[in-house]
Amino acid sequence: MRYGHFDDERREYVITRPDTPLPWINYLGSEAYFGIISNTAGGYSFYRDARLRRLTRYRYNNTPFDLGGRYLYLRDSISGDFWSPSWQPTRSELEDYECRHGMGYSAISSRHAGIEAETLYFVPVDENLEIWRTRVTNKRDAEAKLSLFSAIEFCLWDAWDDQTNFQRNFSTGQVEVEGSVIYHKTEYRERRDHFAYFACSEPLAGFDTQRDTFLGAYNGWDSPSAVKRGESFDSVAHGWAPCGSHHVELTLAPGESKEVIFVLGYWENAEEAKFDPPGSQTINKKLVKPVIDRYLRPEEAEGAFQRLRDYWSELLGILQVTTPDEHTNRMVNVWNAYQCMVTFNMSRSASFYESGIGRGMGFRDSNQDLLGFVHMVPERARERILDIAATQLPSGGAYHQYQPLTKRGNDAVGSGFNDDPAWLILGVAAYLKETGDISILDEEVTYDNEPGSESPLYEHLQRSLRYTLQRLGPHELPLIGRADWNDCLNLNCFSTTPGESFQTTENKEGGVAESVFIGGLFVLAAEELAQIAELRGHTDEAESYRADGAKMDAVVREHGWDGEWFRRAYDYYGDVIGSAQNEEGSIFIEPQGMCILAGIGLDDGKAEKALDSVASKLATEHGIVLQQPAFSHYYVNLGEISSYPPGYKENAGIFCHTNPWIMIAETIVGRGDAAFDYYRRINPSAREDISELHRCEPYVYPQMIAGKDAPSFGEAKNSWLSGTAAWNFVAASQWILGIRAEHGGLRIDPCLPKEWEGYEAERKFRGATYQIKVSKPAGVCKGVTRVVVNGEDVEGNLIAPQPAGAEVVVEVSIG
């Protein structure tokens, strides 16, 4: 069953009924000011950091699930009937409800009692504000007298404090109201240099800024007192809970439309210019006013919206493909790329499943996000790499996360995840391959943000690799530390205390638990660093990295191979995990993918064997589960992984992030049908028809789909913020379609389903535009036989970088 459809032309997903199984959300904003918006206008906004600069309040895990947001109410002045044009929060009956989620904007429209309303929500590029443009149209054949009310709830900035420290917060809230603008200035009188504002383009019939006055002490958002009675209270908040509500009266002749614009934004004043007049307690509005006035003008709002659309056309224009499969086209061309931008911006901090107050930017996560983002805005990728590297510890190790506002690392979710450092090498390698900008390697970067500790970025990478080499266990495999990619495989944790964090507890120090996965990752990273060393002309060094990689490769084959698949780890006692010897958890997906990506077992049949085991033991119709058999009870020596009931999350859920590793591995061994089949199983667009089961948005990947051991097998959870976005993009574009940036140019090496006869693509790369046409006979998957560039045959399938501005026509034949 579907709840809407794709509009591929407009790059929108159109939701046609408001009661989707879960809120289906979208993101507003692209660089500093962000918002989350659901299909019923729920959600919240923040500036840079969802915890420390939260503009509007949001209550998670609510009933209904999604409540609180960017609400509007319409009220018929004659009948007294009122409703929400976005359905929530009144949930009145609507005709023609439609929510169009697009690239950085959402438009919600509906009709009730002959009144149409359409609201477009977006954040202009390069501005710290959001626009809500509402058009109300009278479709009745008589004049309509209406009231339009807006409503938001201000958050007192630090979202954690906002939810916990009421003895203080109920006395700090402050606002100013001037004309049609409500200024939220809690704590501005003391140490904050920022305030929020909520403005309206029309003269007001009234306003409210004290939530409980607006709502009434015992009313919810579905029946605010002011809306019910059709008149604001003109309340000025002082303490308690500041909110923002404008009241605009509209009289519309039959067929008449009226546009009302609201602007919600964030502003910072210089410390010495906070007040006007100086010495007073009144916000200095001299600089912010022109910005507010500008975007309240319809032509400016429209211009800003067009710029946003152009911005996305340009970004998505970097890679456009036309294949025989509409789900591939739509995900690669639009939605998967878009999700990569969102994960790059948010890491794992703010979604409807990540509260924005818990996790900051992940070290590992952000590096992986780069893999799917780097081609879009390489300058931002560069900046991100330098930020991440600046938090690296002198040992080469890493804090597991850092806070976006301060850019400092913290160990709130622990440290000593021993896979972390290697991902920095992979992130930097991706940047270098895309851009060729080797100057980044000479950038002086701190350790642990400590001034004076700077060394060139290149040395950070060297320390990353060394970090693993200096931490080998009894089998010469890398020590796992707190955990590796699988945050829940906590082999030194041994927790028996309820509520103790699996992510920070380590009851058995000095353990010898080892990770085969990090072994594979190390082999991959060593080769990447060797190539980077070569770029710098350090051939000897490159040799030594390759030798380290080869040694680890041999160790993995010796101690990490189980006979039919790669093993997962050795635990605190030195006992094997992920082996036929284990009754539960005898095969894990991660080492099968990572070891093959690293090239281990390609020459001796191990790779194919491992993939056959994945197919027979882990693959399901809804995707590949993380391990089997699921853990039926809690194992103190394994940690959080066994805390989940079978089939969920890391305990045998379909952890979508890992599936593309298997897709890539299948392309490496040349099995295009298998790769594409796995791709299709978790592709959200291909799952649109089973939305009642899948439940999450059909336009973005979820982190997890319940595995076959769960009662809700096939149900997705935790949409949007997941490494799944970047890795699926990499699998589809670079390995199945095979368009891959390398240091030496653009490689075209597709591995396609047998029945395809080719595909076409346009790729912008280092300033040139490549028109690529791949042809192949049915029945073949892989193996480029001929490459013609601008009419001339070339050797091999790596196309050297072409001059900037060049139009390059590439014809590729397979088989």
- Active site residue ranges: 487
Nearer to ligand NOJ, 202 or 365 (CB): 365
Nearer to ligand BGC, 590 or 650 (CB): 650
CA distance 396 to 464: 5
User: Residues near 60 by Cβ (< 8 Å), separated by ≥ 6?
Assistant: 352, 355
Site string for ligand BGC, 384-423 (x = CB under 6 A): -----------------------------x----------
The verdict on 708 binding ligand NOJ (CB under 6 A) reads: no
Q: Residue 650 Cβ, how far from ligand NOJ at the closest point, in Å? A: 5
Nearer to ligand BGC, 413 or 524 (CB): 413
**Which listed option, ligand BGC, ligand NOJ, none, makes contact with residue 413 (CB within 5 to 8 Å by class)?**
ligand BGC
Nearer to ligand NOJ, 196 or 489 (CB): 489
Phi, psi of 254 (to 5 degrees): -55, 130
Q: Residue 434 Cβ, how far from ligand BGC at the closest point, in Å? A: 27
Q: What would the two tokens of residue 407 be? A: 């850019």
User: Residues near 766 by Cβ (< 8 Å), separated by ≥ 6?
Assistant: 434, 435, 436, 801, 802, 804
The verdict on 90 binding ligand NOJ (CB under 6 A) reads: no
Q: Residue 569 Cβ, how far from ligand BGC at the closest point, in Å? A: 17
Nearer to ligand NOJ, 417 or 770 (CB): 417
DSSP state of 9: T
CB-based contact 776:800 (threshold 8 Å):
no
User: What is the radius of gyration, based on Cα positions, of the chain?
Assistant: 28
The verdict on 100 binding ligand BGC (CB under 6 A) reads: no
Site string for ligand BGC, 633-672 (x = CB under 6 A): -------x--------xx----------------------
The verdict on 487 binding ligand NOJ (CB under 6 A) reads: yes
Q: Residue 738 Cβ, how far from ligand BGC at the closest point, in Å? A: 30
The verdict on 364 binding ligand NOJ (CB under 6 A) reads: yes
Q: Residue 305 Cβ, how far from ligand BGC at the closest point, in Å? A: 36
The verdict on 176 binding ligand BGC (CB under 6 A) reads: no
Binding residues among 460-489 for ligand BGC as defined by CB under 6 A: 487-488
The verdict on 362 binding ligand NOJ (CB under 6 A) reads: yes
CA distance 592 to 606: 10
Phi, psi of 187 (to 5 degrees): 70, 5
Which of 109, 503, 592, 659 touches ligand BGC (CB under 6 A)? 503
For residue 68, give the nearest of 162, 201, 2 by alpha carbon.
Answer: 162
CA distance 138 to 123: 28
Nearer to ligand BGC, 109 or 486 (CB): 486
Nearer to ligand BGC, 640 or 715 (CB): 640
Nearer to ligand BGC, 41 or 488 (CB): 488
3-state SS class at 39: coil
CA distance 732 to 682: 12
CA distance 753 to 654: 23
Binding residues among 309-348 for ligand NOJ as defined by CB under 6 A: 348
Q: Residue 350 Cβ, how far from ligand BGC at the closest point, in Å? A: 14
**Which listed option, ligand NOJ, ligand BGC, none, makes contact with residue 503 (CB within 5 to 8 Å by class)?**
ligand BGC
Residue 437's identity, in one-letter code, is D
For residue 642, give the nearest of 542, 471, 494 by alpha carbon.
Answer: 494
**Which listed option, ligand BGC, ligand NOJ, none, makes contact with residue 683 (CB within 5 to 8 Å by class)?**
none
CA distance 121 to 105: 6
Q: Residue 346 Cβ, how far from ligand NOJ at the closest point, in Å? A: 11
**Which listed option, ligand BGC, ligand NOJ, none, makes contact with residue 365 (CB within 5 to 8 Å by class)?**
ligand NOJ
Per DSSP, the residues of 253-287 read -TT-EEEEEEEEEEEE--GGGSBSSTTSSSB--TT
CB-based contact 704:649 (threshold 8 Å):
yes
| Largest CA-CA distance found in the chain, in angstroms, rounded | 85
Q: Residue 421 Cβ, how far from ligand NOJ at the closest point, in Å? A: 14
User: Which range, of 78-86, 269-277, 302-310, 486-494, touches ligand NOJ by CB under 6 A?
Assistant: 486-494
CA distance 810 to 798: 11
CA distance 591 to 589: 6
The verdict on 650 binding ligand NOJ (CB under 6 A) reads: yes
CB-based contact 103:258 (threshold 8 Å):
no
CB-based contact 737:324 (threshold 8 Å):
no
3-state SS class at 384: helix
Angle formed by the axes of helices 672-682 and 659-668, to 10°? Answer: 160
The verdict on 66 binding ligand BGC (CB under 6 A) reads: no
Q: Residue 163 Cβ, how far from ligand NOJ at the closest point, in Å? A: 23
| Order of strands across the sheet that contains 798-799 | 739-742, 745-748, 798-799
**Which listed option, ligand BGC, ligand NOJ, none, makes contact with residue 362 (CB within 5 to 8 Å by class)?**
ligand NOJ
Q: Residue 677 Cβ, how far from ligand BGC at the closest point, in Å? A: 26
Nearer to ligand BGC, 414 or 750 (CB): 414
Query: How far is C-alpha 497 from the chain's CA centre?
Result: 33
The verdict on 486 binding ligand NOJ (CB under 6 A) reads: yes
User: Which residues here bind ligand NOJ, judged by CB under 6 A?
Assistant: 348, 362, 364-365, 485-488, 650, 723
User: Which residues here bind ligand BGC, judged by CB under 6 A?
Assistant: 413, 487-488, 503, 640, 649-650
